[in-house]
């Protein structure tokens, strides 16, 4: 009797599991017509094109360089396998250790606001997955990017190397202190939320250069600021849109 009850329970659990099968996320495997289908690079390229049209062009990003970059960088390879199916969705995604890869539109917008060119030397604070770094690297001459969590920095460096983004150098240290040995920079992009604009980063900006940085506001989010340094060293700050980033944490180590 007990044995029969056990068999019935096993059958019921199997049925429940089977009916939920289409919703189980197996990374880049999706269930199509009851069969598993692995997404191909072509599928991802198609999703990427839709992402650019529907999320980025539709919201007003116009720069051809930026749109080309967003179309070329394989975002799904910067996302953990278990979230890969959502790589091109209109949202940030977890990358482990409590950190996130930003929403595609925010990456595109910040890249456009940074207004960089192929002779620029740029500093990024907050490497994370390395995705924003890859996007920028297709546009600029050289990109230094700083990550405070060693494990993320090492993974991002390996990923960027294997994808041949060869003009990117990843440093592991406190990015709030900048990279004094390589300063000044034509542009600085900060992809973590700062309580205020760090003085050391303003110092490391070239005259005529600009920084894009999310800074805490009073509404539990941040203002995405453009900080411009004029040729005579004056600072001009423009506010763009409210954003939500993980916090910039304090460390002690300055990178060389
Ligand atoms: N640009 C990333 C997303 C940034 S998430 C991408 O494209 O994936 C913010 C990152 O900033 C996290 O990885 C976090 O560890 C890092 N970070 C936080 N404080 C930092 C600091 N002081 N210096 C360098 N990196 C920092």
Residue that is written with structure tokens 């089977």 in the block: 18
Q: CA 57 from chain center: how many Å? A: 18
Map 82-116 to HEC letters.
Answer: HHHHHCCCCCCEEEECCEEECCHHHHHHHHHHHCC
Q: What is the pLDDT of residue 27?
A: 67
Can you give the pLDDT at residue 99?
96
pLDDT at 12: 63
| pLDDT of the residue at 21 | 45
Site residues for ligand 1, CB cut-off 6 Å: 99-102, 125-126, 128-129, 131-132, 146-149, 152, 174-176, 191-192, 246, 248-249, 251
- The predicted model scores a pTM of 0.88
CA separation for the pair 178, 198 (Å, rounded): 9
Q: How far is CA 128 from CA 4, 151, 190, in A?
A: 53, 10, 11
188 alpha carbon – ligand 1 mean position (Å): 14
| Domains with residue ranges and CATH for the chain | 92-243 (3.40.50.150)
For the chain, which residues score pLDDT lower than 70?
1, 3, 6-36
CA 198–ligand 1 middle distance (angstroms): 15
Known catalytic residue: 30?
no
Among 102, 129, 137, 173, the active-site one is: 102
Rounded distance between C-alpha atoms, residue 168 and residue 67, angstroms? 20
For residue 35, how far is its CA from the centre of ligand 1 (angstroms)?
A: 38
142-147 β-sheet, strand order = 168-172, 142-147, 121-125, 185-190, 205-216, 222-229, 235-243
Question: Atom 12 of ligand 1 has which residue's CA nearest to it?
Answer: 128
pLDDT at 251: 86
């Amino acid at each position: 009797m007990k044995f029969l009850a056990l068999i019935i329970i096993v059958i019921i659990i199997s049925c429940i599991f089977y009916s939920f099968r289409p919703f189980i996320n197996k990374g880049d495997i999706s269930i199509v017509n009851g069969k598993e289908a692995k997404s191909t690079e072509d599928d991802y390229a198609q999703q990427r094109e839709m992402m650019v049209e529907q999320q980025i062009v539709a919201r007003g990003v116009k720069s051809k360089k930026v749109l080309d970059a967003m179309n070329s960088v394989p975002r799904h390879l910067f996302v953990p396998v278990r979230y890969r199916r959502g790589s091109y969705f209109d949202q940030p995604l977890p990358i482990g250790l409590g950190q996130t890869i930003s929403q595609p539109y925010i990456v595109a917008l910040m890249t456009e606001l940074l207004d960089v060119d192929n002779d620029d030397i740029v500093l990024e604070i907050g490497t994370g997955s390395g995705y924003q770094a890859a996007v920028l690297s297709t546009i600029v001459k050289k990109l230094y990017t700083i990550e405070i969590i060693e494990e993320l920095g090492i993974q991002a460096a390996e990923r960027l190397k294997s994808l041949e983004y060869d003009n990117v150098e990843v440093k592991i240290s406190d990015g709030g202190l900048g990279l004094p040995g390589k300063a000044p920079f034509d542009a600085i992009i900060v992809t973590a939320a700062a309580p205020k604009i760090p003085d050391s980063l303003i110092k490391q900006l070239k005259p005529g250069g600009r920084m894009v940085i999310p800074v805490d506001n009073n509404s539990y989010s941040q203002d995405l600021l453009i900080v411009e340094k004029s040729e005579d060293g004056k600072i001009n700050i423009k506010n763009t849109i409210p954003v939500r980033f993980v916090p910039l944490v304090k460390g002690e180590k300055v990178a060389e």
